[in-house]
Amino acid sequence: MQVTLKVFRYNPEVDKKFHYETYNIDVEENERILDLLELVKGHHDGTLSFRRSCAHGVCGSDAMRINGRNMLACKTLVRNVGDKITVEPLLGLKVVKDLIVDMEPFFDNYKKVLPYFINESPLPADGKERLQSPEQRARFDETTKCILCAACTTSCPSFWGSDDYLGPAALVTAHRFIFDSRDEAASERLQIISETSGLARCHTTYNCTMACPRDIHITQAIGELKLATLTGKVE
């Protein structure tokens, strides 16, 4: 089939403002948007810039707007978006070049929630593992699936309005550790996400949940965090 691929282009070294370039290309309907971008880069314009690494929905580097919705280019098939395709960079982050955005503000927010395991207690007597029941592990399984692609955070109107809002991805990470029975810093993280740049900025629009390529129930996770901050209970 033939598709019309419209691509956002911006090179700050030569362009005063962004523009779109259109490519008419023959593709198979089972090809991915990432394949189309590779084809354009390889055969039409080698200067086209976009991030990608794993090409299998694991690394999270190729999140972009495809026909107006945040998706991973490597997980989106042509047959699912039609023969007129527009690809644009994520919203709310500065465009570095073409489809590449500056991820620093996103990762700065991520770092604020202490995205690592904290437990200062001595290891169990056998010196091996901090055991956890299947139920305790299941409590935070959902939020371990995040690949930090930023599709959720950059679909959130609160983040568009203020990039100091922690955003859904950072809150998902906070949830992953707060509800881990082995971690000892839940109250510290709850304090961090209770500050003005945190949970209060979530207006439950569900954009994040709809954008997540891993199908994480983000709005529900944020709701559980709100409840924990109100009750002081993590359960």
Question: Where on the chain is the footprint of ligand FES (CB under 6 A)?
Answer: 52-55, 57-62, 72, 74
The amino acid at residue 172 is V
By C-beta, is 85 or 225 nearer to ligand FES? 85
CB of 48 to ligand FES, least distance (A): 15
CB of 54 to ligand FES, least distance (A): 4
The amino acid at residue 175 is H
Q: Taken in order 46, 90, 195, 215, is the CA torsion positive or negative?
A: negative
By C-beta, is 34 or 95 nearer to ligand FES? 34
Please name the residue that has the structure tokens 């437990």: 119
Residues facing residue 69 across a β-bridge: 66
Cα–Cα distance measured from residue 195 to residue 68, given in angstroms and rounded to the nearest whole number: 32
What sections of 44-166 are H helices per DSSP? 78-81, 104-112, 134-138, 157-161
By C-beta, is 60 or 198 nearer to ligand FES? 60
By C-beta, is 62 or 88 nearer to ligand FES? 62
CB of 163 to ligand FES, least distance (A): 23
CB of 99 to ligand FES, least distance (A): 12
Cα–Cα distance measured from residue 193 to residue 229, given in angstroms and rounded to the nearest whole number: 9
CB of 38 to ligand FES, least distance (A): 11
- Token pair in block for residue 97: 């070049």
By C-beta, is 64 or 234 nearer to ligand FES? 64
CB of 60 to ligand FES, least distance (A): 5
Cα–Cα distance measured from residue 57 to residue 53, given in angstroms and rounded to the nearest whole number: 9
Find, among 97, 225, 88, the residue nearest to 166 by Cα. Answer: 225
Cα–Cα distance measured from residue 23 to residue 5, given in angstroms and rounded to the nearest whole number: 5
By C-beta, is 73 or 222 nearer to ligand FES? 73
